[in-house]
């Protein structure tokens, strides 16, 4: 399953969640890996689809039992990707791709365990634009916005974890790049090597 995993990360306000939703809508062969979190459910979020919303005590018990392939504390909440979720979604079909929406800490852990996965980092065109987006979303300029900006800067310093970087200045252009990366990933040499080998074996049968 390692070669069918797509990890997409980006600072809060980068637009990665919007890009992921569009990717899922366009490509039915992509399924979403639902993470666990201790944060409160937001308006329009769906339990089991956006996240598995669980109490902090339950989350920490799962972490102690080694049930997460990666987990991290982000701000005052915990987020984690469970082995069970990856295994369950991967059993759907070998032709399916599993997309993970996780932060930089989680991506580093995933890369150690699934080195053949595809890693994509979504970034804003500037820190000024990121501030504008966060202020617009939070409706105020406060310490939380400043904290998110500081964390975003730290996350972007770890860009070398990723195979590709998408500058999300204009959504349509950013999505076009994301879709192109996915298309290239589907047609990479390691993925199509079995097809080439079957093709060559068929040629031997005709000789």
Nearest of 87, 89, 97, 95 to residue 194 by alpha carbon: 95
Examine residue 16 and state whether it is found in any structural domain, yes or no. yes
Q: How far is CA 96 from the centre of its chain?
A: 15
Examine residue 48 and state whether it is found in any structural domain, yes or no. no
Examine residue 81 and state whether it is found in any structural domain, yes or no. no
Examine residue 21 and state whether it is found in any structural domain, yes or no. yes
What's the pTM? 0.87
Question: pLDDT by residue for the chain (207 residues), tens digit each?
Answer: 567 999 999 998 999 999 999 999 999 999 999 999 999 998 889 999 889 999 999 999 999 999 998 898 877 899 999 999 988 887 776 678 999 999 898 899 889 888 899 999 999 999 999 999 988 765 556 677 888 899 999 999 999 999 999 999 999 999 999 999 999 999 999 888 989 999 898 766 665
Examine residue 49 and state whether it is found in any structural domain, yes or no. no
How many domains does one find in the chain? 1
Length of the chain: 207
Examine residue 25 and state whether it is found in any structural domain, yes or no. yes
List Cβ<8 Å contacts ≥24 apart for 179-186. Answer: 179/23, 179/26, 179/27, 181/118, 181/120, 182/6, 182/23, 182/27, 182/30, 182/97, 185/6, 185/118, 186/97
Query: Structural domain of residue 121, as residue ranges?
Result: 2-33+96-206
Q: What is the CATH number of the domain that holds 191?
A: 3.40.50.300
- Residue 132: CB atoms within 10 A of its CB come to 13
Cβ(14)–Cβ(124) below 8 Å: yes
């Amino acid at each position: 399953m390692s070669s069918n995993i797509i990890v997409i990360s980006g600072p809060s306000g980068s637009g990665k969640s919007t890009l992921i939703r569009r990717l899922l809508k366009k490509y039915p062969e992509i399924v979403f890996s639902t993470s666990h979190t201790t944060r409160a459910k937001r308006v329009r979020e769906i339990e089991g689809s956006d996240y598995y919303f669980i109490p902090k005590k339950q989350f920490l018990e799962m972490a102690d039992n080694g049930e997460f392939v990666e987990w991290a504390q982000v701000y005052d909440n915990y987020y984690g990707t469970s082995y069970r979720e990856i295994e369950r979604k991967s059993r759907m079909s070998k032709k399916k791709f599993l997309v993970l929406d996780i932060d930089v800490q989680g991506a580093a852990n995933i890369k150690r365990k699934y080195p053949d996965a595809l890693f994509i980092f979504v970034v804003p065109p500037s820190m000024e634009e990121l501030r504008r987006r966060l202020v617009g979303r939070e409706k105020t300029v406060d310490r939380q916005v400043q904290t998110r900006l500081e964390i975003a800067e730290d996350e972007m310093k770890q860009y070398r974890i990723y195979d590709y970087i998408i500058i999300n200045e204009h959504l349509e252009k950013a999505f076009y790049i994301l879709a192109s990366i996915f298309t290239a990933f589907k047609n990479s040499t390691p993925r199509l090597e079995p097809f080439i080998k079957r093709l060559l074996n068929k040629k031997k049968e005709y000789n």
